[in-house]
Homo-oligomer: A and B are copies of this chain.
């Protein structure tokens, strides 16, 4: 740590902190101009640029008593990288805007940046620019840029007769949050999953290559995001609850709290799993599990019936 452990952002000052943060970000070969100029400059191949942005707000998207700064960094990167994944693309570059109170420990910002950089390294993406400013709350604004070789996979292409498939862990983060909300710290695997989601970064491009007709990142909740896909495609979706994997630690939590574990899987959002539709089950690639079917109509059902659990998340 280049600063005294108790040093705040105000103690360290903007320029010294930016220099330390920038040193954490390795630049890929595609970065002609990295952090430190008016803008970054990237060499891109002919094709499509995929871009997405997200805001994370302290107290709203993370709590500093439930997650270390390094975890918040992993998570902020993961949720953005996942948006590129959900188009069938691969992320190459990100920017970070960090708003923070003057009395925030400088080590928080450095640990956050280290976690962010480590998550980006999983897919070979570079942090190419950013902004640092004073704010009453910690606010993290991330924009991610990626490339997709093939036609991007949108939300609106599902057709009756397609199968619905899921890739990645689902319900783990929601289970971790349920544990933390009750004041517990275990099962550790679920708490870790809440702190650091593990999106299935290869599943998006694999689905695109396999001919997925529609795809979405599960961030609001499996049923909620299935609803967004159904609405955009003008179709009905049915989820077969027997096809959903209920991980062992989630069964344990459900038993302890008296809740139905399927509820976490259907309602949970922040694992950043992917939902996609494919023309038939034979085209569903490795890493994906068929969990339902597409038919004419509208809305999302579970085992053919309306589901009355907590199905999602809105910001206001």
Contacts and interface: CB of A to CB of B under 8 A. Distances in A.
A131 B55 contact: yes
B145 A139 contact: no
Contact of A50 (B40, B133, B152): B40
A129 B48 contact: no
Interface stretch (A6-14, A62-70, A253-261): A6-14
Given A9-B316, A314-B13, A48 B39 contact: no
Contacts of A241: none
Interface stretch (A79-87, A183-191, A294-302): A79-87
Contacts of A56: 133
The secondary-structure label for the interface of chain A is: strand
A174 to B, nearest CB: 19
Find the residue from A86, A98, A134, A316 having the highest chain B CB count within 10 A: A316
A242 B10 CA distance: 37
A46 B146 CA distance: 15
B146 A51 contact: no
A280 B50 CA distance: 41
B40 A52 contact: yes
Contact of A57 (B49, B93, B99, B215): B99
Contact of A32 (B52, B131, B145, B152): B152
Interface residues of A, number: 74
Interface string A232-274: 1000000000000000000000000000000000000000000
A96 B51 CA distance: 12
Contacts of A315: 14, 132-134
A86 B38 contact: yes
Nearest to A82: B38
A144 to B, nearest CB: 8
Nearest to A91: B39
Given A134-B60, A155-B38, A53 B13 contact: no
